[in-house]
Amino acid sequence: MTATPALDLPALVRDRATRVVVTCGSGGVGKTTTAAAIALLGAESGRRTVVLTIDPARRLAQSMGLVELDNTPREVAGLEGAAAGRLFAMMLDMKRTFDDVVVEHATPERAEQILANPFYQSLSSSFAGTQEYMAMEKLGQLAAMNEWDLIVVDTPPSRSALDFLDAPQRLGRFLDGRMIRIITAPARAGGRTGLRVVTVGIGMFAKVFSRVLGSDLISDLSAFVSALESMFGGFRQRAEQTYELLKTPGTSFVVVASPEPDALREASYFVERLSAERMPLAGVVINRTRRTAAVPGAPALPAARAEVALAQLHGDEPAARLAAMALRVHCEVATAAEHDARMAERFRTAHPDVPLVGVPALPADVHDLDGLRRIGELLTPS
> What is the Rg, in whole angstroms, of the alpha carbon atoms belonging to the chain?
27
What digits encode the pLDDT tens for the residues 279-332?
A: 999 999 999 998 765 544 445 556 555 665 666 666 666 766 676 676 677 677
The average pLDDT across 79-107 equals: 87
Q: What is the pLDDT of residue 179?
A: 46
- How far, CA to CA in Å, does 341 sit from each of 5, 263, 338? 16, 15, 5
Question: Looking at the predicted structure, is the pLDDT value of residue 254 above 80?
Answer: yes
Task: Report yes or no: 280 and 247 within 8 Å, Cβ to Cβ.
Answer: yes
Separation CA 200–CA 188 (nearest Å): 15
pTM of the model: 0.80
* DSSP state letters, 226-259: HHHHHHHHHHHHHHHHHHHHHTSTTEEEEEEE-S
Per-residue model confidence (pLDDT) at position 323: 65
Task: Indicate if the pLDDT at residue 84 is higher than 80.
Answer: yes
pLDDT score of 296: 46
- Evaluate if residue 235 carries a pLDDT over 80: no
Residue pLDDT, tens place only, 124-147: 776 556 777 788 888 988 999 999
Q: What pLDDT shows up at residue 209? A: 41
Which helix (DSSP H) or strand (DSSP E) does residue 377 occupy?
Answer: helix 369-378
Residue 334's pLDDT band (cuts 50, 70, 90): confident
pLDDT at position 42 over 50 = yes
Q: What is the pLDDT of residue 200?
A: 44
pLDDT at 36: 93
**Which CATH architecture best describes the domain 9-293+342-378?**
3-Layer(aba) Sandwich (3.40)
Query: What pLDDT score does 218 carry?
Result: 59
Q: Which amino acid is at 382?
A: S
Q: String of b and e for 225-257 (b: at least 16 CB within 10 Å)? A: bebbeebeeebbebbbebbebbeeebbbbbbbb
CA distance 124 to 107: 19
Local structure of residue 6 (DSSP, 8 states): B
Spatial neighbors of 236 by CB under 8 A, at least 6 apart, are: 168, 171, 172
Stretch among 1-10, 240-249, 283-292, 343-352 having the lowest mean pLDDT: 1-10
